[in-house]
Chains A and B, each alone.
Chain A
């Protein structure tokens, strides 16, 4: 009888004993990281929709001897149904498409080029990651952090480097939320005061017809799908959401995509990503390197966008404010807001927001396109 009690108490104390052993140290550290993520989400408002479930998933998976990521466990189930199958990021893309208004981009299509310049960081980071000794597929996934596009980063990494999914996802979402801190010094360093003061007035009335807005997602899907078919799930879902919105005939589906579906999937996605952050797998030198490379990627994206803006400033005879180039990344609408705020620091009557929104939606298309091109090139190499 007494032996039974002793065995029962031993079983109960096993988790605590594990936690305070050397073997449990990574779990303790990760519990601290989970606490930091939860603090950032709750107290600082840093991407709370994602960082809160990621932080809680991280907490759950690092409680010693928890079996949530083992076969049959809750987090493993969410991972298997949504991330291993790539369904979650794609469903989020439908919601993003339904929320995005491409009108500012359609008003001034040349701004779309900023969306391409804003992806150069992806490729520079890929080269750096290769130089640091990451494998080719891992380097590609790390580079994708530079897309500033969480769902794209998750989609690509879950296919080609699932062992890096936790680090890449957390880096991508963390840096997206740090855009207002990372971008302004780079914008200031690369532009002159004269360039920053350029005003870009908006045309009074819209020049885009409803039919153009309706046909735009179909044309984008067809053109990009023909050139880079491996990226069609990404571009197709974002354009599906936008087509539903612009058609105006499926308001219930549009509403569900941007609210209920996006919310449920975001919760499950965050928990599943948190589930990949188990201490023994996450606490490696590579994780630190991934965070460093992600930072480089976003700095290079911003710099490339501003430099293209300077080129367009010269070619347009000083009519384009180079600051809007910084909005050519996918962090929507945060990057556009940063441009607006920076513009107003130098001229309170300068309203760059709509142009920056155009560049920012261009960045969304650009980031997906860059990923689509990479996946298609991989297929060409016989690696996909």
Chain B
């Protein structure tokens, strides 16, 4: 494989795949946050009871 084919392929695939994988991770993090939302902590429950 000649240098330019190697370089251009590596650049296009490398940049594209890096963005793609991180995009997938952004999506998965969104799912995780929706699937496991932060529940009210004990302090907040106690405050609610106190009120």
Binding site for B on A (CB under 8 A): 105-106, 109-110, 112-113, 115-116, 119-120, 122-124, 126-127, 130, 136, 139-140, 206-209, 211-212, 215-216, 219-220, 223-224, 227-228, 362, 365-366, 369-370, 373-374, 377, 381
Q: Would you call B36 and A223 a contact (CB within 8 A)?
A: no
Min Cβ gap B7→A in Å is: 5
Contacts of A110 in B (CB 8 A): 26
Min Cβ gap B41→A in Å is: 9
Q: When A and B form their complex, which 9 residue pairs have the shortest distance between CB atoms, in order from nearest?
A: A123-B11, A109-B29, A211-B36, A209-B38, A373-B17, A109-B26, A116-B19, A130-B3, A116-B22
Min Cβ gap A360→B in Å is: 14
Q: Would you call B10 and A366 a contact (CB within 8 A)?
A: no
Instruction: Find the A residue at minimum CB distance from B1.
Output: A381
Q: Would you call A365 and B4 a contact (CB within 8 A)?
A: no
Min Cβ gap B24→A in Å is: 6
Type the 1/0 row for B3-23, where 1 means its CB is closer than 8 Å to any CB of A.
110111111011101110111
Q: Say whether, besides A209-B38, A215-B36, A370 and B14 are in contact (CB < 8 Å).
A: yes
Q: Which of B1, B11, B19, B39: most chain A CB closer than 10 A?
A: B19
Contacts of B17 in A (CB 8 A): 227-228, 373, 377
Q: Tally A-B pairs: CB < 8 A.
A: 106
Q: Would you call A228 and B21 a contact (CB within 8 A)?
A: yes
Q: Would you call A377 and B22 a contact (CB within 8 A)?
A: no
Contacts of A105 in B (CB 8 A): 29
Q: Would you call A377 and B18 a contact (CB within 8 A)?
A: no
The distance in angstroms between the C-alpha atoms of A140 and B29, with both chains bound, is 30
Taking A113-B23, A116-B22, A136-B7 as known contacts, 13 extra A-B pairs with beta carbons closer than 8 A to each other, sorted by chain A number, are A106-B29, A112-B22, A113-B19, A115-B22, A127-B7, A136-B6, A207-B33, A211-B36, A212-B32, A366-B22, A369-B22, A373-B14, A374-B14
Q: Would you call A209 and B19 a contact (CB within 8 A)?
A: no
Contacts of A113 in B (CB 8 A): 19, 22-23, 26
Within 8 A of A (CB), among B19-51: 19, 21-26, 28-30, 32-33, 36-39
Per DSSP, chain B at the interface is helix
The distance in angstroms between the C-alpha atoms of A113 and B38, with both chains bound, is 24
Contacts of B37 in A (CB 8 A): 207, 209
Contacts of A377 in B (CB 8 A): 9-10, 13-14, 17
Q: Would you call A370 and B9 a contact (CB within 8 A)?
A: no
Contacts of A207 in B (CB 8 A): 33, 37-38
Min Cβ gap A157→B in Å is: 16
Q: Which one of B11, B25, B32 contacts A365 once the chains associate, using CB atoms below 8 Å?
A: B25
Q: Say whether, besides A123-B11, A373-B13, A377-B13, A219 and B28 are in contact (CB < 8 Å).
A: yes
